[in-house]
Amino acid sequence: MTHAVSTRALIDALVRSTGAVDEFTAIRIKAREAIERFRTAFGEPTMPFDVDALASLLGIHRSEDAPAHSSDAELVPTGDGRVTMRVNPDRPDTRKRFSVAHEISHTFFPSYHAKKWCRTDARYRSRANPDDLVEMLCDVGASELVLPAPWFTEATRAVDTGLGLAELAKTYVVSREATLRRFAETHAREAAAIFLSWKLKPTQQRTLGNPNQKGLFGIDVAEVARRARRLRLDYSIPSPSFTAAGFFLPADKSVESTGPLYAAASTGQPCEGTCSLDLGPAGGEYRVLAVPLWTPDEDLGPNGENAVGAIIVPLRAR
């Protein structure tokens, strides 16, 4: 039996153990069961949710050693049916908390202590690969743990500004990206979390974005490419109602250098407002709650603007 097949078998066993319709529902069920176990042991939790106490309650030993096979965290079998968790102490608190919750989520799978589990870079995962799918599922479980219902869901009802989103992330000690994703996933009405960065459109990437492209007459091609960047949609996370209404947000669509999205990017401060967004078939008027996201220097906009995340709510859409 290959390793990939055995990993798929673990996923299938998780689904059977919960009676869920799919693996994503199954991991959410297991995470919520863990939170209920926490409540039984310690009473009503305060926020941010104490993932370290939950790990201890579940019998996971926390080692002071740094992870040997991951830049974030890993779960290592001790040989006696138990596991040890190693977390990179140099990561920001938001990332460490999510990594702890991610490793806890590995224990929701049957036979989790049979091998080493390492948190991998989400940018390079494929859902078709069972090992990558397990990592995706553990991120879903981690989101349930660090932004737990019903407390997080209740807190979102009072949020109607970009600053409110930023404060929500601070309260739960998680990244703004994780907060936006969870906000959209749990929103009862039509809404979507969108994530935008400064980049060229695909056709420009093959010319201006080519590092081997030579400049003519002393033209700095890299500078031309940087000046040509626009704030473009990377991906979106819709609420169930947003999807049910038939909205679709195509990747790489650019937005105007006006309105709350650009204001958040250019000022580095949360913003909100109503504006028109040309989002293809979902274009129209939206309420926008925007927050700037940390952006590496090489990915900043033409005038030093940040990447942006936002919650958008359709007011009048095509």
What is the pLDDT, as a whole number, of residue 4?
45
Q: In what order do the strands lie in the sheet with 61-62?
A: 61-62, 83-87, 73-77, 117-118
* Strand-pair partners of 61: 84
Which CATH code, of 1.10.10.2910, 1.10.357.140, 1.10.390.10, 3.40.50.620, is assigned to 3-146? Answer: 1.10.10.2910
What is the pLDDT, as a whole number, of residue 144?
97
Q: Give every CB contact of residue 157 below 8 A, 6+ residues apart in sequence.
A: none
Give the three-class secondary structure for 252. Answer: coil
Per-residue pLDDT of the chain (318 residues; tens, 9 = 90+): 344 447 888 899 999 999 999 999 999 999 999 999 999 999 999 999 999 999 999 999 999 999 988 889 988 888 777 889 999 999 999 999 999 999 999 999 987 776 666 655 555 566 777 788 898 999 999 999 999 999 999 999 999 999 999 999 999 999 999 999 999 999 999 999 999 999 988 776 666 655 555 555 456 667 777 788 999 999 999 999 999 999 999 999 999 888 999 999 999 999 999 999 998 888 999 999 999 999 999 999 999 999 999 999 999 866
Asked if residue 169 lies in contact with residue 156, where contact means CB atoms within 8 angstroms, the answer is no
Quote the CA–CA distance of 221 and 305 in Å, as a whole number.
20
In residues, how long is the chain? 318
What is the pLDDT, as a whole number, of residue 159?
96
Question: So what's the architecture of 151-317 in CATH?
Answer: 2-Layer Sandwich (3.30)
What is the pLDDT, as a whole number, of residue 206?
60
Quote the CA–CA distance of 103 and 55 in Å, as a whole number.
9
What is the distance of C-alpha 168 from the center of its chain? 15
User: What does the domain layout of the chain look like in residue ranges?
Assistant: 3-146, 151-317
